[in-house]
Structure formats: structure tokens, C-alpha cells
Amino acid sequence: MTNSNSIVSVVIPCFNQGVFLDQSLRSIREQTFSSWECIIVNDGSTDETGKVAMEWVQKDSRFKYFSIPNGGVSNARNFGIGNAHGTYILPLDADDRIGPRYLEKAVALLDNNPEIHVVYSEAEFFGGKTGRWKLPPFDEHRMLFKNLVFCSAFFRKADFEKVGGYKTNMVSGWEDWDLWLSFIESGFSFYKLGEVHFYYRIQNISRTASLDTKKTELLYKQIFLNHLDLYVRRFGHPVGVYEKYCHMQNSKTWKLGSMLTYLPSLVRSLFKKPDE
């Protein structure tokens, strides 16, 4: 067990996922690192989320339970982190699990490396799909087009507060990618542990998998608008970049999702520096 004065606050928003919550909480209690608290935020569930959570609160005082009106995952995570006492924050979805040494490994790294701001790991699928999640190496440039880091990564609460938390305008998802872009804007660094410490549940219907094309396009647009300065800074400073972007959005031949995910060269041409 790692010796550390740091506390980790694991923050779990839960909306009608009580059937999975027990497994998630069990994975926290099995950690080799014991200086943690777990904040369970019931985001207006109508299932047995509250009952399951209270059973764990009675088992172990490190579990804390809050119930709030449904406001979405960003709001629930912000609420949980706002009530956290930890130096480090670990968001965890109610249907996912972590390996027993995840806290130990991440805390040791963060305690001894103040220049590292976000720590995550290799990952595996479970549930409807099993096997290794083949995450590509972290690359700041590629992060502008596609998220490379799952939501359950460690960061300092102070850094989270510095960037303003999760944006509640990401109502349909991708709030984790949006947060990582905020961290990149602040010059924060990312580090991936070489072992598997995160287990991502695959369900037949999930919040991400159920996104339709229209919602996906709107999410890409919101990501871009939330971080317009970042994209302009990376790809140049054309006159009227926002207007040009909106014009392209309305074009029948334009697909923002393709631009951000598959066509970085097109973005470079759109935002070409004057001297290029």
C-alpha cells in the first residue's frame, strides 16, 4: 500500500444505473490505496440507485451519498467535485470498474511529478464486448479531432477549478473530451500508465452509442465553439473564422464530424496561416 497524505475523491454520477452501481463501488473498496472518499451523486434516478448507494454508505463511511434533481452528467460531476475533499479527483461512471491498484499507481505518479496533470491507463472492455481497448498513444494534436482519453482519468481538483469544470452545454455527451481540451488550453500534460487499470462496460444501448448523426454533428459543433480560441491558435488566424465556420456548417457538402475526426488536413487548409 502506498504511503501518501493525499486523498482521492472518486466521483460517481448515477442516473438509473443502480443495477450496475454495486460492482462499481466494490471496485473502489478493493483498492490497495486506502486514503479515498467516494461521492455518489444520484442524478434524479427513478430506480434503486439510492437504496444501493445507502447500503454502501452504511458499510463504509468513506462512501458519501447525495441526491439532486436530474441535471445531466456534467452538472452531477460538477456537484460531486464541488463537495469533494480530495487533492485528486477520479470521475467514474456508475457502470464501469477500476482495477485494485489504479489509485495507488496514479497517486504515486502525481505526488512525485507536479508537472504531470492528468493520469490515465490502458483499458479493457467488459459486458457486451470483451478484450483490450486499443487506445492510441496520447497526442495533443490528435486530441483536437478525436478524444483519446476516457473519462476516468485522475486530475488535481485545483486544476479542475482553474478551467471551470465540466461545461453543462455538453448535454448529449463528450463532456470528458471537452474537459481535456480545456486542460490542453491551460498547458496541462497527460500521462498514460502502461498497465490496464480501467474497465469500460459495453451495453447494447449506451449514452454514447445511441447518438444519432444530427446529435453527433451538434456535439462536434459545440466542442469547436467551446474551444474556438484553441482551434484558431493551432490553425492560424483567418479573418472572420467564426463566420466562415458557421457558413461551412450550413453547407450541404460539409460534415463537421468528418472534418474533426478524419480530415485534419482540411482543417489546416481552412485555417492556413497568412505566410503559408
Residues 50 and 155 in one domain: yes
**Would you state the pLDDT for residue 254?**
42
> Which range marks the domain in which residue 146 is found?
8-202
Give tens-digit pLDDT for 169-200. Answer: 998 899 999 999 999 999 999 999 999 999 99
Cell numbers found for residue 34:
486506502
Mean pLDDT of the chain: 86
**Would you state the pLDDT for residue 217?**
83
Residues 89 and 44 in one domain: yes
Question: How would residue 72 be classed by pLDDT, with cut points 50, 70 and 90?
Answer: very high
Q: Annotate 59-96 with b (16+ C-beta within 10 A) or e (fewer).
A: eeebbbbeeeeebbbbbbbbbbbeebebbbbbbbbbbb
Give tens-digit pLDDT for 204-254. Answer: 755 555 567 788 888 888 998 899 888 888 776 543 444 554 554 455 444
Residues 105 and 177 in one domain: yes
Give pTM, 2 decimals.
Answer: 0.84
Length of the chain: 276
Q: CATH number for the domain including 155?
A: 3.90.550.10
3 assigned to some structural domain: no
From the CB of residue 214, how many other CB atoms can be counted at a distance below 10 Å?
8
Residues 219 and 197 in one domain: no
**Would you state the pLDDT for residue 224?**
86
Give tens-digit pLDDT for 109-164. Answer: 999 999 999 999 999 999 989 999 999 999 998 998 899 999 999 999 999 999 99
275 assigned to some structural domain: no
Residues 68 and 195 in one domain: yes
Residues 17 and 65 in one domain: yes
Residues 101 and 218 in one domain: no
Residues 32 and 168 in one domain: yes
